[in-house]
Amino acid sequence: MVNTLFLPELREMLASDDRGELEEFCVALNAGRTAEFMEGLDDNEVWRVLQYATPERRAEIFGYFPEVRQVTMLDQEPADQVAALVDEIPADDRVDLMQSLPEQRVGEILNLLPVDARRDIQRLGAYPDGTAGALMTTEVAMLRSDLTSREALEELGRQASDLETIYYLYVVDENQLLLGVVSTRQLVSSLNKPTKTLSEMMESDVIAASVTDHQEEVAQKVEKYNLLAIPVVDDARHLAGIITHDDVIDVVREELEEDAQRIAAVAPLEDSFLEVGLLMLSWKRGIWLTILFFAALLTAFALFHYDRELAQYEWLVWFIPLIISAGGNSGSQSATLVITAMTSGDVAFSDWPKVMKREVIVALTLGGFLALIGYTVAFFLAPSPEDALVIPLTLLLVIFCGCVCGGALPMLFKRLGLDPAMMSNPFVAGIVDILGIVIYINVARLLLTAPL
Amino acid sequence: MVNTLFLPELREMLASDDRGELEEFCVALNAGRTAEFMEGLDDNEVWRVLQYATPERRAEIFGYFPEVRQVTMLDQEPADQVAALVDEIPADDRVDLMQSLPEQRVGEILNLLPVDARRDIQRLGAYPDGTAGALMTTEVAMLRSDLTSREALEELGRQASDLETIYYLYVVDENQLLLGVVSTRQLVSSLNKPTKTLSEMMESDVIAASVTDHQEEVAQKVEKYNLLAIPVVDDARHLAGIITHDDVIDVVREELEEDAQRIAAVAPLEDSFLEVGLLMLSWKRGIWLTILFFAALLTAFALFHYDRELAQYEWLVWFIPLIISAGGNSGSQSATLVITAMTSGDVAFSDWPKVMKREVIVALTLGGFLALIGYTVAFFLAPSPEDALVIPLTLLLVIFCGCVCGGALPMLFKRLGLDPAMMSNPFVAGIVDILGIVIYINVARLLLTAPL
């Protein structure tokens, strides 16, 4: 919902170059809300309003616009103004933005940046996507261990405007080796002991991520230890950067969304749903849809194989979709529950006997219940009440197979080092579809009175 | 994976009541890691080790144990020791723990608590689950607006050990009316202007949650504005508490897991997968499995209705599961993509023309491709190459219906105020199954040469 309340006033202020009012507009509200009030302006209008804010505030407000709009502005506005803004954007965000710009434009902007910002962008840009290195920012408070709490607070005050977070200070030696961590909470609590040094206060057992760690591991660590931010170190434990809580929330959301997409047999999208190219979208969906299609093709061959039985007992055909869908649905329930439980750390491989025992009990409960309903319907459609027994018996067996496959396969895939969210549902669907038909026809062969 | 490295030493220290070593063990490491090293001890051993820590540290380490173990310890250890610990646990966590204890035990513990802790637990416990009120803690830094930055820092230092977070200070009047917010970052930055007061520094446009807000809205606000914590206010904007970033991550994870479960047609579980009762699990799965079963029953009636056609063209039967699964899979892909895009805010109802246009193009691409494969197989199984054309044409139409229903229904359900994750897949599956059969038989009627 675009907020249009202030748009006419803003446009009027821009037309009359009303410096006082525009400067006031840029500081009066929370930066996020300021951005919201500008959503209805076009990119160039936004850019012009932003020029009335202080450089720091400008970067803050700019950060609240959607990424597509940010990229357009950085691409189209005057290079010198863009470079001035880029210099103020947090190090991790600006790398992502620069990677979305055309190469030539990136060169133009880099040339206008101070040398340290340029190097920083190049260094951070070198880490592969999805690693801690690519996620971290280099704006981290590094202090020497011999500072007193009061000196540290004062140093922090000087650096505060350049740091992404000031709530953890990392104590390092002259080679940036990570020695310990002190929280601002500790500093503030020891204000009455102004001579206490950081080395006396710091915790030396620092929970850290490595630059090469996958972002999901990093998020799990931050969650497990309830951290506000986690330091990122290289192989030799030199402090390279920091990952803050807001980036962690983004990772958790991204990873879980990808899980949901994988469960529905879509290879995870790299852009948001409306922005990803249609060819790419078709490809990401098409590969798995085709794999599932081949699995389902097997059912066609199976039914072809059982041609004689189906010709003899025509009424069996009517229940084919029902049986297959009951197995598929119970299997996908089990698989999804196990996958989400593994992602959240509730279930490990060693829990498999417990998981299997539970799946068996639930399968018998659910299968028994649906078999009853199935029998009621089959009672009316089948030639005789005895023949109708094929349906409940098949349903019970198929739902049992669905639950057991659905519970077991994700754990097995994880054990084999494969992605359970990606692999499980296609396999469960394929196996249960085929098993469903084989079970159905064999139960029919066994129970039906007329000889086949 | 239980860490067994220190278990023999810990047990020996306990046996010999080695106060010095045990006290050292409780402080040497990060509190989370201390808890990890104790994972292999039984509950009573853990409790005994914890008695060697300072009350504050004890609560911190205790907080890293799984909730089931926490509840057992609070239930079984001496009530006076338990009350002393409960007094130190953060206000939001201890309410959750108390709600898991037997009523009689809660009474015992409450009687041993200081009156303010008792009132606090009773007040927080009154908010319904899933609201901001139930999620918040009352340990929030509230300060008066006439304090200077230095006075504020000193006051904060005094309160620090009792506060869940000290990174935002909320400025209130004598009735706790929320007037503004100052970050510790601002305080630290203005250490060189020691006479500046909070009212001069504070931002008065405070992003806040209401006690009755749903936790998902709260998490979205925190993410949108990149907050470390959000204040919670009552209807008259009196400050009631605060929700911190770690609780927000938990909410994001919980809500997205529930979405994944709903997409797979499981009513969201309230406990973790291995802890939820089997009867409850069967119920949560059974309701949706039954609804899906009734939808699939319609296919049985449809096939019964088309009995004459199926008897005449027996080979049509072989492709029934293939056609139904192609429609179902493409529908669930579309529905899941739209659901996750709506949850993350990438797609709003107003985007429906764009979503539909994209679904149509993707459907034709995917449908066309699978139709080709389908024709290749049907070419060999069908009586004639002309008859085989029924299969690709049906596939194209069914995949088209799957994508369009899958894309449209979640948006429609959301518009109607229903939960799209809950409602979409069962409906999509039901509609596409039935449509699949109706389309199939009618395409066959149209194309097959022998008159029906």
DSSP class per residue in A282-342: HHHHHHHHHHHHHHHHHHHHHHHHTHHHHHH-GGGGGGHHHHHHHHHHHHHHHHHHHHHHH
User: How far is it between the farthest Cα atoms of chain B?
Assistant: 97
Per-residue pLDDT of chain A (452 residues; tens, 9 = 90+): 466 778 888 999 999 989 999 998 888 888 898 998 998 899 999 999 999 999 989 999 999 998 889 999 999 999 999 999 999 998 889 998 999 899 999 999 999 999 989 999 998 989 998 899 999 998 888 899 999 988 888 888 888 777 777 888 999 999 999 999 998 888 888 878 878 899 988 988 899 999 999 998 899 899 888 888 999 999 999 999 999 988 898 888 888 888 888 887 778 877 778 888 888 888 888 888 898 888 888 888 999 999 888 888 889 999 999 999 899 889 988 998 898 888 877 888 888 999 999 999 999 999 999 999 999 999 998 889 999 999 999 999 999 999 999 999 999 998 998 888 777 777 888 889 899 999 999 999 998 865 54
List the alpha helices (DSSP H) in B51-165: 55-62, 67-76, 79-88, 91-99, 103-112, 115-125, 132-135, 149-159
3-class DSSP assignment, residue A357:
helix
Q: For chain A, say whether B274 makes contact (Cβ under 8 Å).
A: yes
- Please tell me which of the candidates A160, A248, A355 has its beta carbon nearest to residue B188: A160
Q: Which residues of A touch B437 (CB under 8 A)?
A: 321
Taking alpha carbons only, the member of B252, B253, B263, B240 closest to residue B421 is: B263
Q: For chain A, say whether B72 makes contact (Cβ under 8 Å).
A: no
Closest residue of chain B to A347, computed from CA coordinates: B274
Closest residue of chain B to A433, computed from CA coordinates: B321
Sign for the pseudo-dihedral over CA of B293, B297, B298, B300: positive
Closest residue of chain A to B332, computed from CA coordinates: A264
Outline where DSSP puts E strands in A184-262.
209-210, 229-233, 239-244
The two tokens of residue B385 are 């190459």
DSSP state of B210: E
The C-alpha atoms of residue B368 and residue B372 are separated, in whole angstroms, by: 6
**pLDDT score at A408:** 93
List the alpha helices (DSSP H) in B202-319: 215-224, 245-263, 278-305, 307-312
The C-alpha atoms of residue A200 and residue B367 are separated, in whole angstroms, by: 68
Termini Cα distance of chain A: 66
Alpha carbon of A39: minimum distance to chain B alpha carbons (Å):
14
**pLDDT score at B449:** 66
Alpha carbon of A281: minimum distance to chain B alpha carbons (Å):
7
The C-alpha atoms of residue B196 and residue B399 are separated, in whole angstroms, by: 67
The C-alpha atoms of residue A73 and residue A42 are separated, in whole angstroms, by: 10
Surface-to-core class of residue A198, CB atoms within 10 Å of its CB (0-12 exposed, 13-18 middle, 19+ buried):
buried
3-class DSSP assignment, residue A16:
coil
**Contact by Cβ (8 Å): B202, B180:** yes
Taking alpha carbons only, the member of A103, A87, A133, A345 closest to residue A223 is: A345
- The alpha carbons of chain B give a radius of gyration, in whole angstroms, of 31
CA B222 to chain centre: 15
Q: Which residues of A touch B286 (CB under 8 A)?
A: 365-366, 369
Taking alpha carbons only, the member of A357, A338, A304 closest to residue A411 is: A338
**Crossing angle of helices B67-76 and B43-50, rounded to 10°:** 80
3-class DSSP assignment, residue B131:
strand
Alpha carbon of A290: minimum distance to chain B alpha carbons (Å):
7
Taking alpha carbons only, the member of A110, A119, A167, A174 closest to residue A146 is: A174
Q: Which residues of B touch A362 (CB under 8 A)?
A: 278, 281-282, 285
Termini Cα distance of chain B: 66
Give the best residue of A64, A139, A256, A262 to mutate against chain B (max B CB count within 10 A).
A256
- Please tell me which of the candidates A166, A366, A433 has its beta carbon nearest to residue B289: A366
B300:A191 CB<8 A: no
**Contact by Cβ (8 Å): B266, A333:** yes
The torsion angles phi and psi of A250, rounded to 5 degrees, stand at: -60, -40
3-class DSSP assignment, residue A232:
strand
The two tokens of residue B386 are 């002309």
**pLDDT score at A452:** 46
Instruction: For residue B170, list its beta bridge partners.
Output: B142, B181
Q: For chain A, say whether B311 makes contact (Cβ under 8 Å).
A: yes
**Contact by Cβ (8 Å): A82, A47:** no
β-strands A239-244, B142-143 pairing: unpaired
The two tokens of residue A303 are 């039914």
The C-alpha atoms of residue B347 and residue A421 are separated, in whole angstroms, by: 24
Sign for the pseudo-dihedral over CA of A141, A145, A148, A149: positive
Alpha carbon of A108: minimum distance to chain B alpha carbons (Å):
31
Outline where DSSP puts E strands in A51-149.
142-143
List the alpha helices (DSSP H) in A101-183: 103-112, 115-125, 132-135, 149-159
Taking alpha carbons only, the member of B338, B380, B47 closest to residue A274 is: B338
β-strands A178-183, B229-233 pairing: unpaired
Touching A: B residues 105-144, CB under 8 Å: none
**Contact by Cβ (8 Å): A85, A55:** yes
Q: Which residues of A touch B297 (CB under 8 A)?
A: 322, 373, 377
The C-alpha atoms of residue B420 and residue B355 are separated, in whole angstroms, by: 15
- The alpha carbons of chain A give a radius of gyration, in whole angstroms, of 30
**Contact by Cβ (8 Å): A378, A372:** no
The C-alpha atoms of residue A228 and residue A245 are separated, in whole angstroms, by: 5
**Contact by Cβ (8 Å): B65, B57:** no
The C-alpha atoms of residue A437 and residue A426 are separated, in whole angstroms, by: 17
Q: Is A413 left (phi over 0), alpha (psi -120 to 50) or beta?
A: alpha
Q: In what side-by-side order are the strands of the sheet with A229-233?
A: A209-210, A229-233, A239-244
**Contact by Cβ (8 Å): B223, B247:** no
Could you give the domains of chain A?
A: 7-130 (1.25.60.10), 142-245 (3.10.580.10), 278-447 (1.10.357.20)
User: Look-up: residue for tokens 């409940």?
Assistant: A392
**Contact by Cβ (8 Å): A153, A143:** no
Q: pLDDT below 70 — which residues of chain B?
A: 1-3, 449-452
Q: For chain A, say whether B308 makes contact (Cβ under 8 Å).
A: no
Convert B181-200 to b/e letters by CB count within 10 Å (16 or more is b).
bbbbbbbbbbbeeeebbbee
Q: Is the ipTM of this complex over 0.90?
A: no
The C-alpha atoms of residue A342 and residue B27 are separated, in whole angstroms, by: 32
User: Look-up: residue for tokens 């790398």?
Assistant: A95
β-strands A229-233, A239-244 pairing: antiparallel
Q: Which residues of B touch A331 (CB under 8 A)?
A: none
Q: Which residues of A touch B160 (CB under 8 A)?
A: 185, 188-189
